């Protein structure tokens, strides 16, 4: 099985995110700044989870539904739907939690 190794997040960028969160900046503003810093959605979710002290589920929602990533929302939703469809075609079922 192949694994994906993510590059470490630049400590200076992480420090800036921490500063913003600690100063009480709205999460929408923090997410926008992270995208402008060049961070991707996964990196942004990780930093929110770690430093805004919210759950991964909440961090995913904040990033996915943010204005900063609005241009990707439709394509991300389509990818999600196709992945679910492919999994079902392979015989996997969804479990409600």
DSSP 11: H
Whether 78 maps to a domain, the answer reads yes
Does residue 57 belong to any structural domain of this protein? yes
How many structural domains compose the chain?
Answer: 1
Supply the pLDDT for residue 5.
76
The pLDDT-based confidence of 97 (bands split at 50, 70, 90) is: low
Domain presence at residue 19: yes
Range of the domain at 63: 11-89
Could you tell me the two tokens for 65?
């539904």
In tens, the pLDDT along 22-38 reads 999 999 999 999 999 99
Q: Give the burial string for 3-19 (b: 16+ CB within 10 Å, else e).
A: eeeeeebeeebbebbee
């Amino acid at each position: 099985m192949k694994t994906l190794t993510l590059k470490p997040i630049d400590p200076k960028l992480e420090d800036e995110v921490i500063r913003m969160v600690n100063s009480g900046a709205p999460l929408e503003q923090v997410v926008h700044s992270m995208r402008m810093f060049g961070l991707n959605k996964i990196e942004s979710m990780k930093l929110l989870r770690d430093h805004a002290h919210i759950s991964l589920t909440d961090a995913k929602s904040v990033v996915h539904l943010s204005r900063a990533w609005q241009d990707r929302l439709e394509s991300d939703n389509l990818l999600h739907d196709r992945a679910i469809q492919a999994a079902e075609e392979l015989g996997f079922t969804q479990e409600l939690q």
